[in-house]
Amino acid sequence: MLINGYLLKSVDPANGLISIRNRYQFISLDAFHGKWTLLKDGVVVDSGLVADLNIAAGTEKQLKLPQKPLQAGAEYLLNVSFFTNQSSLWSDKNFEIASQQLQLSAGTSATVSGMTATAVPAWKA
């Protein structure tokens, strides 16, 4: 189980701007490091590290990810994970402490032609 001390929001998806809120009450986020992955229609197209996690407890900061421009009509998802910087009593170094997925763009809907409601067989229990 991941205990998420982070809250991510997409501020400006086209320019890679996200907001990270530190929901911890006493811990700065600089005790962790982050990694991000950008998916286009389910395929990884970019990835990198989340830089500058010096975010005090209870505060929020906007960060710009160096992602490539988004293409219109495609679905883009941003996966972000956070990991411990040091070993502790309860985890090893690089233990994944939290992850979140943001939808940056919805993409286009697929259409099916040649199908009508009468062409679908009735369901029988």
Indicate whether 75 belongs to any domain.
Answer: yes
pLDDT in tens, 78-111: 999 999 999 989 899 999 988 899 888 877 655 5
Give every strand in the sheet of 17-22, ordered side by side: 6-12, 17-22, 60-64
CATH number at residue 99: 2.60.40.10
Q: Got the DSSP string for 15-29?
A: GTEEEEEE--SS--G
Q: Is residue 33 part of a domain?
A: yes
**Domain membership of residue 19 as a residue range:** 6-106
Q: Is residue 116 part of a domain?
A: no
Q: What is the CA radius of gyration of the chain?
A: 19
The predicted structure's pLDDT at residue 123? 63
Number of domains, the chain: 1
